[in-house]
Structure 1
Amino acid sequence: MRSLITFGFMGGIVTCVHIAVGLFCVHILHMEAFWGNLVAFCTGFFLSYYGHRHVTFRSQAHVSHSMPRFFVISAINLVISQMSVVVIVDMAGLSYNLALAVMIVLVSSFGYLAGRFWAFSDGEF
């Protein structure tokens, strides 16, 4: 239960960073939503990795074990995130804010499960 709560806390911090950077890129810099979201996602990668490794999962797994796995999870989350933008903003013509809400739910659910049971586990799976 502790890891779920701290995942929410760390994820909340990273999500706030993602939202702030995404909104800044899209609404202030007038970047296309796809590119603004990519910048936002990349911004949170290392913050997310170190936060989840040290705070959420308190992993003892070596960085050479957990970082590549976390990168794979992040890459999958990036695809989920970008596809949310493409489908909701570009194809459906709805707002980027809605795309943010959808991607937060999808990305965080997948991220917790994959992080807990794969990237930051001490096992070989």
Structure 2
Amino acid sequence: MRFGVIGVIAAITHYGIAIYLTNSHFSAAWANLIAFVIAFWVSYFGHRYFSFDAGDVSHQQTLPRFILVAVLGFILNESLLLLMLHFTKISMALGLPFIIILTAISTFILSRQFAFNTAGTRSK
């Protein structure tokens, strides 16, 4: 549930910025990249402190792992977006929410199993 709350906040951030930037004549690829980077920080801090309660674990452990997860998520997100725009007539405004949801599912699994998996690393 907590992951979902942060995920929705990050997704709304991502979507809103991406749509705003494309309406401001940025290319879809650049708008999506900029929106993703901004939503990354919403996601990282939200998941670190709220979703996975990993606030007592060093950023040196969680941040590099989450960056890797986010980069993999972005590659998936950007690839799906560009494929959708190239091969279909689906607009970015209509298709991006589905792509964000699919990316969020994969990010959740990787975050839980890898980025914020703190078994044995917490301070006692």
Give, in whole Å, the separation in 1 of the partners of 2:93 and 2:47.
25
Task: Choose which of 19, 30, 37 in structure 2 pairs with 1:23.
Answer: 19
Aligned pairs for 1:27-106 (under 5 A) are: 27=23, 29-59=24-54, 60-106=56-102
> Aligned letter for 2:43?
S
Q: Is the Cα contact below 8 Å between 2:15 and 2:97 reproduced in 1?
A: no
Deviation at 1:103, TM superposition (A): 1.4
Give, in whole Å, the separation in 1 of the partners of 2:97 and 2:4.
15
Give identity over the alignment, percent.
25
Give, in whole Å, the separation in 2 of the partners of 1:102 and 1:12.
12
Helix, strand or coil for the counterpart of 1:44? Answer: helix
Which residues of structure 1 form unaligned runs of 5+? none
**Which segments of structure 1 move beyond 3 Å, counting only runs of 4 or more?**
none
Q: Is the Cα contact below 8 Å between 2:3 and 2:51 reproduced in 1?
A: yes
Deviation at 1:51, TM superposition (A): 0.5
Deviation at 1:42, TM superposition (A): 0.7
Give, in whole Å, the separation in 2 of the partners of 1:46 and 1:101.
19
Residues 72-118 of structure 1: CA distance to partner in whole angstroms, max 9, x if unpaired? 00000110111111100123242102331231222111111111111
TM-score of the two chains, using structure 1 as the length reference: 0.88
**Stretch of structure 1 that moved more, 35-44 or 85-94:** 85-94
Helix, strand or coil for the counterpart of 2:29? Answer: helix
CA RMSD of aligned residues (A): 1.4
TM-score of the two chains, using structure 2 as the length reference: 0.89
Q: Does 1:119 align with 2:115?
A: yes
Helix, strand or coil for the counterpart of 1:61? Answer: coil
For this pair of structures, how many residues does the alignment match? 119
